[in-house]
Structure 1
Amino acid sequence: MTVEGDTDALLGPADVRELAAALGLRPTKQRGQNFVIDANTVRRIVRTAGVGEDDAVLEIGPGLGSLTLGLLAAARHVTAVEIDDALAGALPATVAARLPGRADRFALVHDDALRVADLPGPAPQALVANLPYNVAVPVLLHLLATFPSLRRGLVMVQSEVADRLAAAPGSKVYGVPSVKAAWYAETRRAGSVGRTVFWPAPRVDSGLVSLTRRPP
């Protein structure tokens, strides 16, 4: 579900580069900064996650706001956790400029997702995020352990990591990430994402993993 005007609100390749240039930003491998530049991919993620008007959503690593805007156009509330100083400082203004009617539904937490323990606003029911490749699994496990209100999720991770998270016992890639993720949630592959929808383009493909919380 989306609201009227989301087409204009979402970021394209030129928008992403313009925002990055204004911040003097050079994406770093250290923080896994690969920004989505394709609005159709954002719409696909929001649609696959099943985000609707009743949902409070948690996003990790919002970056320049590509996915944030798509989520905010569909959800009741979005809380985003960003560790980068420049990105955290700029995102609220981007939201206010591109979705002014929904800016009051957005909250920014400037913190490390591996350590965040409290969130403002309504308790999130859904996790939707383009997780940094280098910390995707520990971040996911930390969030599932820390925020029991999260009932479902859709995360974009490196394709190999997606395979491991969604692997069943007996699979060749079944391992520790598979076991730990399965402790909290039922997982499945929910699609693949190519390299060209990112800037800068990563050297690996990405995959979507859907999660549904298991009963305690």
Structure 2
Amino acid sequence: MTIRLLGRTEIRRLAKEIDFRPRKSFGQNFVHDANTVRRIVSASGIHRTDHVLEVGPGLGSLTLALLDRGAQVTAVEIDPLLARQLPATIADHSHSEINRLSVLNRDILTLMPGDLTDQPTALVANLPYNVAVPALLHLLAEFPTIRTVMVMVQAEVAERLAAEPGGKDYGVPSAKVRFYGNVRRHGMVSPTVFWPIPRVYSGLVRIDRYETSPWPTDEAFRDEVFNLIDIGFAQRRKTSRNAFADWAGSGNESAERLLAASIDPSRRGETLAIADFVRLLQRSNEAALEAGKQQEQVRVT
């Protein structure tokens, strides 16, 4: 059976039938343009063999397009009214595809691997504006099985996520998402394809997780790297020597650690790539380990 995608009129009709009013607190803006959801799904590169995690499915526009691709879909919806309605909408628009859909009424920021029977291989979502970055970082951290991410976010957030070191939009989110994989933009989305119409444009961002990570990915190492990123961007105009002074112990020691990691101490944090932050941590850990060995040798002798 051919899946019927939702249009503007049907979105409004569905909302009226279930007495639903979009809530700003949940960042609820729903896509009603079939070409837009097809574009998102196509750019994601998902296949029939994928298990897609969708965040904030709302009334089901993108959900239907994902199912039309042949993928298995787990939709996580925080709004209980929408979570209850979604299976009925999917069944009404495609009787046979409902078997490939699971719906969870959950806050995405609390979702863990144990909550799912099968682990997702892709994340495709129109992320709520108010939790876009925290949700993205949480899912990348907790679900290493996710290999591909295609998200629609506020245009400003899309620019930050995809920004390169040294640019005005480059910041903490830019560096942290690159801990997991390669990031690139996939164009803009007009506010007119949403209901209600937001005041800003949206942007598409794709993240492809590294096939083989260039660095350790365990939680402890990641937390240490992310701490360095937070320090490096805490005061953007400071030189790295001064920015990392508290972490390193002194201005001189900070400079020595940076030089050991092949980083000019006069560079600012906003120019450091994720590889620089990783290398700084690794060289510092190696130096600390060597210093510990020397102290042990002195103690023994």
TM-score by structure 2 length?
0.68
Does residue 91 of structure 2 align to residue 96 of structure 1?
A: yes
- How far apart are residue 54 of structure 1 and its match? 1.3
Q: Does structure 1 retain, via aligned residues, the 8 Å contact 2:51–2:122?
A: yes
Matched, 1:144 2:140: yes
**In structure 1, which of residues 14, 18, 27 is the aligned counterpart of residue 9 of structure 2?**
14
1:194 aligns to 2:190 (yes or no): yes
Secondary structure of 1:21's match?
Answer: helix
Structure 1 stretches of 4+ with a deviation exceeding 4 A read none
- Runs of 5+ consecutive residues of structure 1 not aligned to the other structure: none
Match of 1:59 in 2: 54
Q: How does 1:37-48 map to 2 (within 5 A)?
A: 37-48=32-43
Instruction: State the structure with more CA Rg.
Output: 2
Partner of 1:177: 173
Whole-Å Cα distance in 2 between the matches of residues 192 and 75 of structure 1?
26
Question: Matches of 1:76 and 1:31 in 2, distance apart?
Answer: 26
Partner SS for 1:114: helix
CA distance in 2, matches of 1:30, 1:178: 25
Paired residue secondary structure (1:93): helix
1:113 CA displacement:
0.3
How far apart are residue 195 of structure 1 and its match? 0.5
Which has more helix, going by share of residues? 2
Return 57-66 or 75-84, whichever deviates more.
Answer: 75-84
Structure 1 residue 108 displacement after superposition: 0.5
Select which of 100, 104, 108 maps to 1:113. 108
Shift of residue 55 of structure 1? 1.1
Check whether the contact 1:56–1:125 (CA below 8 A) recurs between aligned residues.
yes
* More strand, by proportion: 1
Partner of 1:27: 22
Is structure 2 residue 154 aligned with structure 1 residue 158? yes
RMSD, aligned CA: 1.1
Q: Does 1:79 find its partner at 2:74? A: yes
- Equivalent position amino acid for 2:14 in 1: L
Alignment correspondent of 2:249:
none
Q: Number of residues paired by the alignment?
A: 211
In 1, the alpha carbon distance for the partners of 2:71 and 2:58 equals 20
What is the deviation of 1:124? 1.0
Could you say which structure has the greater relative contact order, defined with CA pairs below 8 angstroms and 6 or more residues apart? 1
- Give the drift of 1:53: 1.1
